[in-house]
Chains A and B, each alone.
Chain A
Amino acid sequence: KAGVTQTPRYLIKTRGQQVTLSCSPISGHRSVSWYQQTPGQGLQFLFEYFSETQRNKGNFPGRFSGRQFSNSRSEMNVSTLELGDSALYLCASSLTAQETQYFGPGTRLLVL
């Protein structure tokens, strides 16, 4: 079975731009979660989607948003980028809420 895939793997943007990251979960997995990893804050939960509905949300500003499609693929969007948004963005999928999450390789975003 293919693992979680994320595209693109690397991205460079400038302040004020917006960015969309994509995540394809493991086949059959319906839950997709997003996390941000930075040196200062560590790994922080952004949000979780299940069957196209956002079920959980972390403590991030409204500039961070996401969605999930009927095939369980998910996208996250960050608008009006700030320097502090430079991070590794990780996507994780699981069968259901009570199953282990498996992580993708991440998208490294650099905001200049």
Chain B
Amino acid sequence: DQQVKQNSPSLSVQEGRISILNCDYTNSMFDYFLWYKKYPAEGPTFLISISSIKDKNEDGRFTVFLNKSAKHLSLHIVPSQPGDSAVYFCAASTGGYNKLIFGAGTRLAVHP
């Protein structure tokens, strides 16, 4: 039973454009959501998080949106850069960050 789903295994975007990565969840008890970026042969790198009491959080080029009624969150990267090319994981937890449930990941390719 996949509680966190990233339905798009890959996404290709032109440099300078917006990248939108999507994530759906089924467990209404989740109260923290995070996005991690992962390069090959490295551990995931934390990007941005959002609490369930908010619907938007921004950090530089990265913005996360949370729609609780739809159980959906998205990560917007504007503008996209070639260095953003990586696998992006959505993760969720209940009552804190320590037991993260991850989605399957979306491979983002930003091309010139």
Contacts and interface: CB of A to CB of B under 8 A. Distances in A.
Interface of A: 4, 31, 33, 35, 42-45, 48, 50, 55-56, 58, 90, 92, 94, 97-106
Nearest to B89: A43
Contacts of A58: 99
Contacts of B96: 97-98
Given A42-B103, A42-B104, A42-B105, A103 B98 contact: no
Nearest to A42: B104
Interface of B: 34, 36, 41-46, 49, 89, 91, 95-105
A100 B102 contact: no
Contacts of B91: 43
Nearest to A100: B46
A4 B43 contact: yes
B43 A98 contact: no
A97 B99 CA distance: 9
A103 to B, nearest CB: 3
Given A42-B103, A43-B89, A105-B41, A56 B98 contact: yes
A42 B102 contact: yes
A54 to B, nearest CB: 11
Which of B41, B98, B105 neighbours the largest number of chain A CB atoms within 10 Å of its CB? Answer: B98
Contacts of B43: 4, 90, 92, 103-106
